[in-house]
Structure 1
Amino acid sequence: MRSTNFRPVAAAFGAALLMAGCASSTGPQYYSLAESAAPARTPVAAVGTTPAFIELAPIAMPERFTRPQMVVRKKGTPESPAVDILEDHRWSSSFESELRDALGSSIASRLGAVDVTKTGRQRGQPATRIAVQLGQFDAVEGSRVDASFTWTVRRTDEGPATGCKLSLSEPVGSGFDALAQGAQRVTAKLADAIAGSVSALKANSTSPCAA
């Protein structure tokens, strides 16, 4: 009897382990907007000089993007107003936080600056304040990422804010990995443009938005 009862129990236990193994292999795929490698650029700040400071405000964006799930245009009907909110393909944090973190580190890297967005700055310590607004971010699987941004840069110790804008269309391959990589490239190009406007403002350029 012991031998007869053992087999069904063992079989059931083995099936449970198999199901547990399958369950553990499924779940959302997470993506980051941060650059996978440091950009091959020479920082603006020279070695040995006092670093500049930047302060990036929370990114203003439409409510539909304030979530970790990817929001994409319907495949096959990219011109339709309908979108898909993908539960199985997510940013590693809310899209607003992901974009802000990626931009802050990328802009600071390009300028050789210190990002005091989260650490704060000492009283009397001048910084360049950056405010970004996302106007469009349309991701179409296997096609492109269309994005538009406006931003202002202002020295905390003087002068009014200077406004700039940028529109991009980044082609992407098939699959959601390619879509996330396209979004990374859009973010990197935005960081290039904002860093350029901060440098131009510092140099008292008459055209700080000519990136």
Structure 2
Amino acid sequence: MKENIPCFVVCLLSGIMTQGKLLFEKDVNAYVDGAFSQLATVVATAGPVGYENFTRPDNVGGNTIIVDRFSLGYVYGLNSLEREEDCNVNERRRDYAVSCPVLFTDLRCRLPATDNTTYVLLNVQAKGKLHFRILKWDKGVRAFIFVLPEINYTFSQRNSTTNDDILGVHPTVPAVYNPDGPNIPGLYTEVLRVFLTQGDFIASLEKAFRDTFQLIKDKIK
């Protein structure tokens, strides 16, 4: 009987640790959801986005190409970022490394108008992972990395006055805004990805996580 006592104690402690890990992972998921909900208060949900002197690498020669000016048009739905699945939480000595599969559920881009009657609306399907760290001792959140490898589009042309879809035969889409041409999946996507992962949006995302940190602060062990 005495020989079974150590095994019982080990199994009991293991079960307690596993239960605690599962509870903390649930708390982290709730924290992430709360931060995403907070986005609506810290980010402009619709507004024009443009870049000057945007740099991109030349895939052929390896040189840097500078684009003087480039506009994404109006970007809507920046507050529609959501968790796609449970976050992965890896406990380390000083912190918890968190990785969350995420996606935008209602991200849209209204391209710059080419005439006074119609405009092109891109419905953006963007998904990736958000990585960050929850510090144990300092009780803070740090080191945000947002990766968006998947950005795809569907598009529609709309009436500039009524915002209704144009039925019947669509006017010719200008090449610079044609999702089937080289520009949208090329330069446009590069600029959009930089805006979402390195620009003002990621700063707003970090602020949303700081503003809601009280949701997780007392759960950190």
TM-score (norm 1): 0.29
TM-score (norm 2): 0.28
Q: Give the strand-richer structure, 1 or 2.
A: 2
